[in-house]
Amino acid sequence: MKFDAQKALIAYSGVLTAVFVGVMISGAVQGVGPARFTEIDVHRINVREPDGTLRMVISNQTAFPEIPYRGREVPHPGRDSAGMLFMNEEGTEVGGLVFGGRNVDGVKTSGGSLTFDGYEQDQTVQIMGFQQGPRRVSGVFVNDRPEESIDYDVLTRLAGMSPEEQQAAMLAANMDGQPRAFLGRQGSGASELVLRDAAGRARLVLSVAADGGARITFRDENGQPTRVVTPEG
């Protein structure tokens, strides 16, 4: 019987493939316990409950999800960052950590944002730092949101709308809200504590300017100062 090296190599490769597949299937079914890696390169990691519910995503910009909502995704009007997303027990987004930055034609931008959302709503707390050229804003933001859930189906129709139509649609979808408090650095360089009423109007501002000037300002419902307190009186 003449030995055929090519046929033997093909048969040998087939046996190795079958053994490898069998080992992989067996490991997947039985579970091999925790795995340890010194280094791993990935595009995206999904963390799920035993029933398959998605609870957290760590992703690059390209593979970043849209808006997780009850186990499915609805389009996001402007999501283009890498980072992490957090989901509740129902598979709906409840916050996240995103970041990015680049230098385009000499204009430097950089930023990061950690947010926590209301139930089926937008962010109620945000820790954010942002730079665009010389302008820098960083701080903690607190917002009021409607009790009603966002109408996520409206988001699927935003892509073909004008900016004005998008704004109106988002308001109709319960995506409005009011800022209530800010503590941080303003674009002017001043550090401020701004407290607002339920309508989002600034009523009390504690401010220290970049040059050290400090003041406390009380404002009325029209935004006009009613009293200003400075170190001088």
pLDDT digits over 197-220, tens only?
A: 999 999 999 999 999 999 999 999
Answer yes or no: is pLDDT of 18 > 70. no
State mean pLDDT over 18-42: 68
The confidence score (pLDDT) of residue 153 equals: 82
The confidence score (pLDDT) of residue 53 equals: 97
Final residue belonging to a domain, choices 116, 142, 168: 142
The confidence score (pLDDT) of residue 32 equals: 64
Please check whether residues 133 and 208 belong to one and the same domain: no
* CA separation for the pair 91, 3 (Å, rounded): 60
Final residue belonging to a domain, choices 142, 166, 193: 142
State mean pLDDT over 48-77: 94
The number of helix segments (H) and strand segments (E) in the chain equals 3, 14
* CA separation for the pair 41, 61 (Å, rounded): 14
Q: Is residue 154 part of a domain?
A: no
Please check whether residues 68 and 113 belong to one and the same domain: yes
Half-sphere exposure of 157 (CA within 13 A, CB side): 11
Locate tokens 């990935």: which residue?
42
The confidence score (pLDDT) of residue 91 equals: 97
Q: Is residue 34 part of a domain?
A: no
The confidence score (pLDDT) of residue 20 equals: 52
Beta carbons of 77 and 158 less than 8 angstroms apart: yes
Please check whether residues 134 and 188 belong to one and the same domain: no
Q: Is residue 32 part of a domain?
A: no
Please check whether residues 119 and 46 belong to one and the same domain: yes
Please check whether residues 134 and 194 belong to one and the same domain: no
Work out how many domains the chain is built from and give that number.
2
The confidence score (pLDDT) of residue 31 equals: 55
The confidence score (pLDDT) of residue 166 equals: 81
Please check whether residues 45 and 127 belong to one and the same domain: yes
Please check whether residues 138 and 192 belong to one and the same domain: no
Helix (H) or strand (E) holding 25: helix 5-30
Higher pLDDT, 167 or 189: 189
What is the distance of C-alpha 20 from the center of its chain?
A: 40
State mean pLDDT over 94-104: 96
Please check whether residues 137 and 183 belong to one and the same domain: no
pTM above 0.95, yes or no: no
The confidence score (pLDDT) of residue 132 equals: 94
Determine the straight-line distance between the first and last CA of the chain, rounded to whole angstroms.
110
Name the least confident of 8-12, 70-74, 156-160, 210-214: 8-12
Q: By three-state DSSP, how is residue 50 classified?
A: coil
**Residue 40, exposed/middle/buried by CB under 10 A (0-12, 13-18, 19+)?**
exposed
Beta carbons of 83 and 68 less than 8 angstroms apart: no
Q: Is residue 157 part of a domain?
A: no
What is the distance of C-alpha 127 from the center of its chain?
A: 11
The confidence score (pLDDT) of residue 202 equals: 98
Return the structure tokens found at 34. 């925790």
Please check whether residues 68 and 135 belong to one and the same domain: yes
Q: Is residue 152 part of a domain?
A: no
Please check whether residues 133 and 213 belong to one and the same domain: no
Amino acid letter for position 81: S
Final residue belonging to a domain, choices 142, 162, 193: 142
The confidence score (pLDDT) of residue 158 equals: 76
DSSP state of 212: S
Higher pLDDT, 172 or 185: 185
State mean pLDDT over 124-147: 96
Q: Write out the residue range of the structural domain in which residue 204 sits.
A: 178-233
Answer yes or no: is pLDDT of 79 > 60. yes
Q: Is residue 221 part of a domain?
A: yes
- Which pLDDT band holds residue 126 (cuts at 50, 70, 90)? very high
The confidence score (pLDDT) of residue 11 equals: 55
Please check whether residues 108 and 49 belong to one and the same domain: yes
Over the chain, what is the mean pLDDT? 88
- Which pLDDT band holds residue 30 (cuts at 50, 70, 90)? low
Please check whether residues 132 and 47 belong to one and the same domain: yes
What is the distance of C-alpha 19 from the center of its chain?
A: 43
